[in-house]
Structure 1
């Protein structure tokens, strides 16, 4: 689908107006080509689906008139809506709630409070939004390797805290490079995959967008030989060096 999602509709079903506004704004920031529509309860969500045919639905599970479970059940019973991704938004994540959700046709779950990165990854996964397109939407001005303006905004425009996070992230990845080399030398696949996963988490939270995307790709590798054959270490090292050079521009 990729770039064909220009103008796609996402339905936000939540009885709280503030929550709807926050989700709508988060989507607008990362994917301005996507349009959002809203529903304040499950019944309105159902009728809106029939009328507007959204590409994806963010569904609060606890709403008046018709809750998210019942709304999802009605949507799934309607011809043409059996494959539409329905992402449940919930404040809890009990086994019972998950089972009930899957039983009625929920596709996946997001736990409140939903971080922008979590929402972005979920939309990319289920809408298959083109990675390069979304990357360009996030990176602003000179933010090529670090989405600095996005990180700064997420931290309440606190420059001091933002710069401290960049310093700590830089130190973390310097040590991680050494650990990666050791894992490859020892052919320790389990430790290597754990480290790659940890690095991707830090990169995503620090808004090192290109590095996070690269690590995600390598995280799916299942054999130690594949890491060696793909020149994995040199690719990661080169991106970390590029990040380091850009950090210097932001830290005075």
Structure 2
């Protein structure tokens, strides 16, 4: 749908309206106006109204959550825009920060900290000048448009979010097609990714998420070494039952991290890789 501009509320900005508008900027490339929308603007499907307006109606490009009842599942403007783009389920699965953002925006810091099981004071310790400056600069202007620094940063953020989520979806499908589950000495399991050409990006990317999302009982990952012809071996979820310093002296192991969480080997034969995994096991 072609839209003329985006409206979001004036005053202080929060992560949910900032990120929701970032996605809309990337999707539509139109200006953002920070103001209260008129009734006519809320009813105009050529104007996207985000985090204001008292209505959630995607067919009219309205994405507000403030009218939802107090006991409604934590849902913010970002949630609604992600749903509109067909990315919400992927975002909940691959963006660990999203649910916390939904809680913060709809329940506040006190309830969110209790939900996370942390002290209220810890919430402020997670902020940085990146958060503070971007939100303050976004809130400061009444109009943001192409060519302005904040607008272009928001466009990049929106692009990266969409690219990451679509990329992760494809990466999970790719891992599903290529991966093997090895059982080593009837003691533990690992997920193995064979080398394929051409090798695109980081071969280990998404492996941990694949194990988690499929609830696999794996303690390690074996994947092509992007910088060599062999393979990388690493613990999943930092499982201390594997210590790769135990194989550091092997002729075909050219690097073993001193903390024991990973190693790199020139070995390419599956049987040899299995031997290395077996030697690294401490139980």
TM-score normalized with structure 2 length: 0.28
Which has the larger Rg? Answer: 2
User: Which has the larger strand fraction?
Assistant: 2
TM-score normalized with structure 1 length: 0.30
